[in-house]
Amino acid sequence: MSTFVVNEKSYSEIESGFYTARFIEFSGPHKSETEGSSDYYKFLFEDNDRQYVGFGDVSKMGPRTQNKLGRFLLGLAGKPQSTTERTEIETEDYVGKEYVLIYGPNNNGKTKLLSFSPAAAQ
């Protein structure tokens, strides 16, 4: 007979809701360690108590308004997601700025970063 010890989560799950945090870093592309998953870019935010992370999958077409990477980049710049104009975004320009992050459920019942926008007019 085998004995197993199940440890608690190594991360704290974020509840659905609104959070205010500073943008810290954009990084990637990162290689996915899960077979069948896409490589991704990472958006890192933090407040005094915790860090918040959002992921945008690498797309063959690059960032577009139709994919999460494009929508997250537009959110970072405070641009409407319905834009039809080509938009150049330097992620470093937004480091240290405050954002409102919106977390909600995904298809697996866990919470994920759905969107974010500047906390104040920039």
Q: Render pLDDT for 39-67 as a digit per residue (tens, 0 to 9).
A: 899 999 999 989 999 998 888 887 888 88
Can you read off the two tokens belonging to residue 64? 């577009």
Helix (H) / strand (E) element for 9: namely none
Asked if 23 and 42 touch (Cβ cutoff 8 Å), the reply is: no
- The whole-angstrom separation of Cα 8 and Cα 19 is 24
Q: What is the pLDDT of residue 10?
A: 45
Q: Which residue has the tokens 């809701």?
A: 17
Q: What is the pLDDT of residue 9?
A: 47
Q: Render pLDDT for 73-92 as a digit per residue (tens, 0 to 9).
A: 999 999 988 877 888 899 99
The domain locations on the chain are 17-118
How many Cβ atoms sit within 10 Å of the Cβ of residue 73? 23
**Average pLDDT of the segment spanning 5-26:** 77
User: What is the value of pTM for the model shown?
Assistant: 0.80
- The whole-angstrom separation of Cα 24 and Cα 27 is 10
Q: What is the pLDDT of residue 12?
A: 58
**Average pLDDT of the segment spanning 22-42:** 86
